[in-house]
Amino acid sequence: MTLIAVATLGGTISMAPVAGAGAVPRLGAAELLGGLGDLPVDVLAETLAGIGSASMDFATLLRCRDWGLRQDADGFVVVQGTDTLEETAYFLDLCWPSEIPVVVTGAMRNAGLLSPDGPANLRNALTVAADPRSRGRGALVTLNDDVHAARWVRKAHSSRLDAFTSAPAGPLGMVVEHAVHYFHPSPPRPPALTGEDFGGLVPVVETGLDDPGEVLAHAAAQPGVRGIVLAATGAGHVSAGTADVVARLVDSLPVVVASRTGAGPTLRSTYGFHGSESSLIAMGATMAGWLDARKARILLRTLLAAGADRDAIERGFRLRGDLD
């Protein structure tokens, strides 16, 4: 029978109310899987953490990845909270060297609420991980019966069951009657990134109306900063003052420019004013392409952990951020 390894890290799916307080992580791997009844797969499960996903860190994710790689399993399911689930999925997509599918899931409703969605999401994740057609697709996300690619998925609502979307690409598929229905073939995957040095900081700074660039300059000057992701307006535009700051930073620090809109790419050659995408590229900034600021931060952190220099960072974003 197909063997699926399951690592649980906490999050809403593992939470239940405590008297006089809100929901907290209380359920481990055994409790989560025990409520699913008979399963069509064999499961090897372990509780690796019991935290809210706002407290997720790279050390925990590296430990989770390495645990999954050590198991002689046909698929790997990671269970965590939804607040940073899109970032975990993208990190695993970048760093997962195997053709074995890795599926990330969680829940929007904790076990103490009416109609908790965790059991169905976990059952669907097992189904997706066990399907041979999931092989070679990298990291996938399964919630609310949808199957998303890690590169595109985004939490777009704070509380709804359909909080996760993949605009503009759309979901890869759906789970219906305990079977996966894929809508799109699996595209070629870039080689997995390797690296363990996730020390230091990569802050995300969002720019907006009447921004002279002082916050960006202040963030870049903090000890331990190894790079900056700038969530720019529109298709990758900043004020003239912010552009002046970028020009001063790029010689000593990687600056990646993403769009703050949450959908659509940064452009490369449409506008030419000071602070436009063209001028930022000419200064030496790297454009995130179709990656939003959250995903751009994960990619930059992972490239830096792998020892990438400025040219390798530019190549990495062109390879993973662009569509061609």
Report the range of poorest mean pLDDT among 13-22, 160-169, 201-210.
13-22
Query: 22 and 73 share a domain?
Result: yes
The C-alpha atoms of residue 126 and residue 3 are separated, in whole angstroms, by: 10
Query: 153 and 107 share a domain?
Result: yes
pLDDT tens by residue, 225-242: 999 999 999 999 999 999
Domain count of the fold of the chain: 2
In the chain, the percentage of residues whose pLDDT exceeds 70 is 100
CATH number for the domain harbouring residue 291: 3.40.50.40
Average pLDDT over residues 97-116: 96
Query: 217 and 133 share a domain?
Result: no
Tokens of 217: 């300059």
The C-alpha atoms of residue 307 and residue 82 are separated, in whole angstroms, by: 30
Find where tokens 């809100």 sit: 22
* Residue 175 placed within a domain: yes
Q: Which of 136, 152, 182 is the last residue of a domain?
A: 182
Which one of 12, 84, 207, 242 is the catalytic residue?
12
Query: 164 and 230 share a domain?
Result: no
CATH number for the domain harbouring residue 64: 3.40.50.1170
Indicate the DSSP class of residue 224. Answer: T
pLDDT at 316 over 70: yes
Query: 142 and 257 share a domain?
Result: no
Query: 49 and 146 share a domain?
Result: yes
Query: 80 and 217 share a domain?
Result: no
Tokens of 136: 């070679």
* Residue 189 placed within a domain: no
Query: 236 and 316 share a domain?
Result: yes
pLDDT of residue 211: 97
* Residue 38 placed within a domain: yes
Q: Which of 147, 182, 217 is the last residue of a domain?
A: 182
Going by pLDDT thresholds of 50, 70 and 90, the confidence category of residue 56 is very high
pLDDT of residue 324: 62
**Model pTM?**
0.97
The C-alpha atoms of residue 55 and residue 224 are separated, in whole angstroms, by: 20
Distances (CA, A) of 202 to 126, 181, 296, 302, 304: 34, 38, 10, 11, 10
pLDDT of residue 22: 87
Angle between helices 85-95 and 58-70 (to 10 degrees): 50
The C-alpha atoms of residue 249 and residue 181 are separated, in whole angstroms, by: 47
* Residue 195 placed within a domain: no
Average pLDDT over residues 263-270: 96
pLDDT of residue 51: 97
63: containing domain: 3-182
pLDDT tens by residue, 172-189: 999 999 999 999 998 889
* Residue 196 placed within a domain: no
Average pLDDT over residues 284-292: 98
Query: 174 and 225 share a domain?
Result: no
* Residue 199 placed within a domain: no
Query: 105 and 162 share a domain?
Result: yes
Query: 56 and 164 share a domain?
Result: yes
Average pLDDT over residues 275-295: 98
* Residue 100 placed within a domain: yes
pLDDT of residue 35: 85
Query: 240 and 105 share a domain?
Result: no
The C-alpha atoms of residue 230 and residue 207 are separated, in whole angstroms, by: 7
Average pLDDT over residues 239-253: 98
Q: Dihedral, CA atoms, 57, 311, 230, 275, nearest 10 degrees?
A: 180
* Residue 177 placed within a domain: yes
Average pLDDT over residues 27-37: 93
Query: Read out DSSP for 172-214?
Result: SEEEETTEEEESSPPPPPPPPP------SB--EEE--TT--SH
242 included as an active-site residue: no
The C-alpha atoms of residue 296 and residue 90 are separated, in whole angstroms, by: 10
